[in-house]
Amino acid sequence: MSVAEILDDLDYGPAPEGDGPARDWLKQHDGQTGLFIDGDWRQPNSGAWFETRDPATGAVLAKVAAADAADVEAAVAAARAAQPEWAALPGHERARSLYALARMIQKNSRLFAVIEALDNGKPIRETRDIDIPLVARHFYHHAGWAQVMKTEFPDRVPVGVCGQIIPWNFPLLMLAWKIAPAIALGNTVVLKPAEFTPLTAILFADICRMAGLPKGVVNIVTGDGSTGELIVKHPDIDKLAFTGSTEVGRRIREASAGSGKSLTLELGGKSPFIVFDDADLDSAVEGVVDAIWFNQGQVCCAGSRLLVQESVHDKLIDKLKLRLETLRVGQPLDKAIDVGAIVDQVQLDRIRALVEQGAEEGAEVFQAPCALPANGFFFPPTLMTSVQPASTCARVEIFGPVLVAMSFRTPDEAVTLANNSEYGLAASVWSESVNLALDIAPKLKCGVVWINATNLFDAGSGFGGYKESGYGREGGREGLSAYMKPAWLIDAEPIIEPAEQSAPIGIAPVDATGIDRTAKMYIGGKQARPDGGYARPIAGADGALIGEVGEGNRKDIRNAVEAARKATGWAVASEHLRAQILYYIAENLDARSAEFAVRLSALTGEGRGKARREVRVSVDRLFDFAAWADKYEGVVHRPPFRGLALAMNEPVGVVGVVAPETPGLLGFVTLMAGAIAAGNTTVIVPSESQALAATDLYQVLETSDLPGGVVNIITGDRRALGLELAKHDAVDAIWAFGPPDLAESVERASIGNLKQTWTETVARQWYNARISGGRQILGHATQVKNIWVPYGE
């Protein structure tokens, strides 16, 4: 074709990327890759292999080793042996290793890009221009954290050995997200890449050897789901990090319950893409293309739900259909195509089935009029309109190049529709009014919000979700916490509690005065009798009856959670107001300090001096959190583009708390104050043996202007009530302090809505404000939302 002919029709011709170097690299492995354990390549113990295929052709790329239990055992042992020496290195030495990895990735960037496109099916333009540069950026960024760890986190130590399981949609980028922060902070890693896309992880292992990374620091074992299960259940793994489907995330949470393993989950999404009537519609159309047809829609944060203000809905849909007609679907190594291949036939069949189901439920299906390649796994870019919010295609994560569109009338309706999902990973807001955009962003229940942009990522800004999109963050300072633990935990003693904390339920002796001393529950700002009608006697240290408390049950928990859920004004109240109310609570508790000291002394048998100290420290702790309420602020990230990312600390929501058995007052006050200072509402189960100290406290709360429902107190069996809190789908987080069986039960029961869990089975230093005050507690009481705000023309 002549230049004149090209200029006449402006059609794109093919621009294929050569795959020769990638094929040569595969030949170096004889078309058969091994397991990377303790710095060397090993054959699989079982002698089993599986095939990885090119999604664009269906052809076999390589045979990949399938790790079994013996292989995983060897990898974990290597990581365990290497971890102490790696952690003991000066930060500068670890930083040098990460810098070396980053440079080697850049040096081999085109090889990585081609292999990723071959193995995954995504366009080479995406792997070359987005994935690989971000991978290098993560290692450079976290090299800096290795350098400054000692000064920035003086009271933290590495978690230990990290088991990491990554998905097939961003194979190398997810590897970088997991490995870079882990090894930067002194941990070692056993990583399993996805069965469909293991090749860039294998190439990365080659890079580790070339960069001189010490043996055992990074171990890569390939295999299917059974290999991942071996990692999850291995007793010598200290931390699990998983990115993948919500269904698998639930299974991992259940399997790891009670193990003591730290866990972060980055799961599915059904992200809203909200377009207001004042938006630049042409820019919004391009944003939609990036949001849903990037990586064939196989993106957990894909903007798969298009919400358009009614007045511009039809206009935007018309523009979008015209734009769809220009998208090019074809071979991933062709630099002139927009949409590549679906990763596997299994995923292609799922996409087809869900689109067909959407059509059966009344959706109108429009597909790009493009010719699909004869071989391989391809699906046309698809737009579904006339979709109802309850439709399957509007609620289920399709994980393909499929967009569903709905309309809204008002900003409030847009927020309601956007939040009408069990997921909460990301959202895009398009409006030329910065006031409107920044008003909407905090109202969206998700971890990332892009304003007039989409799919922006950087190593310096955290990424992660709310609700069933998981918990924990990856990237930035906020992503580092998962790979460290407080240094005091190393020498902490386990909690040991007797099976029964107080006298059994029954008819207690009547007080000589004949006056009923039974303390009620505290629900919605009011005293409430227990639903079951039973009371629990509370004995003093000498065995004498001191009083009774209500025996809470499942209905009491439901009532308390409902009251907490209704107290929505607390989360949006000003930090100054929350601080003032905490000050009031402290002042009122201080005014009754003598009374509380007498109560604690009777309950515990300790002298008045120790009891007075517990009350005094409880008052101090309230003042401490009152001070923090308007100071625990977010940060402004400066990613390497024209814009900002505002990292905001937001409350988790409704927090269920199983307070420690002792100290009965200080433990209760610390957890209550930390949770509500951050804007959460609470349902708290106090100590069984010292429950009267907590029920006495609600009289203080009633006189301190605390809105009803912010703090709810349910007395009774801590294990049974904690289990009900963990099961309740309207509870957003569960905190439990007690023996291992308590931790296991609440973690296992939390899988219904994948609520955040914080369980401690060791004795915390409750009197130490450095350990049990301020940031230590507030970190659990908040989750970070990153709001990306580009600027400029």
Catalytic amino acids?
266, 300
Q: Tell me if 570 sits within 8 A of 676, measured CB to CB.
A: yes
Say what angle helices 664-677 and 608-628 make with each other, to 10 degrees.
Answer: 10
The Cα–Cα gap between 348 and 333 comes to 20
Cα three-residue angle 245-246-250, rounded to 5 degrees: 120
Burial of 442 (0-12, 13-18, 19+ CB in 10 A): middle
Count other Cβ atoms within 10 Å, centred on residue 536. Answer: 25
Looking at the chain, the number of H-run helices and the number of E-run strands are 28, 33
The Cα–Cα gap between 531 and 560 comes to 11
Query: Of all helices (H) and strands (E), which one includes residue 266?
Result: strand 262-266
Q: Report how far apart, in Å, the C-alpha atoms of 141 and of each of 98, 137, 459, 507 are.
A: 9, 6, 6, 64
Q: Tell me if 512 sits within 8 A of 779, measured CB to CB.
A: no
The Cα–Cα gap between 52 and 55 comes to 9
Q: What are phi and psi of 766, to 5 degrees?
A: -65, -25
Q: Report how far apart, in Å, the C-alpha atoms of 284 and of each of 301, 428, 779 are.
A: 17, 10, 36
The Cα–Cα gap between 603 and 692 comes to 8
Strands across the sheet with 402-408, in order? 364-367, 382-385, 402-408, 305-309, 272-275, 426-430, 448-451, 782-790, 643-651, 635-637
SS3 of residue 279 by DSSP: coil
Query: Of all helices (H) and strands (E), which one includes residue 786?
Result: strand 782-790
Q: Tell me if 476 sits within 8 A of 460, measured CB to CB.
A: yes
SS3 of residue 604 by DSSP: helix
Closest CA to 109 of 84, 91, 146, 134: 134
The Cα–Cα gap between 196 and 167 comes to 9
Q: Tell me if 464 sits within 8 A of 481, measured CB to CB.
A: no
Q: Percentages helix, strand, coil for the chain, rounded to the nearest 5?
A: 45, 20, 35
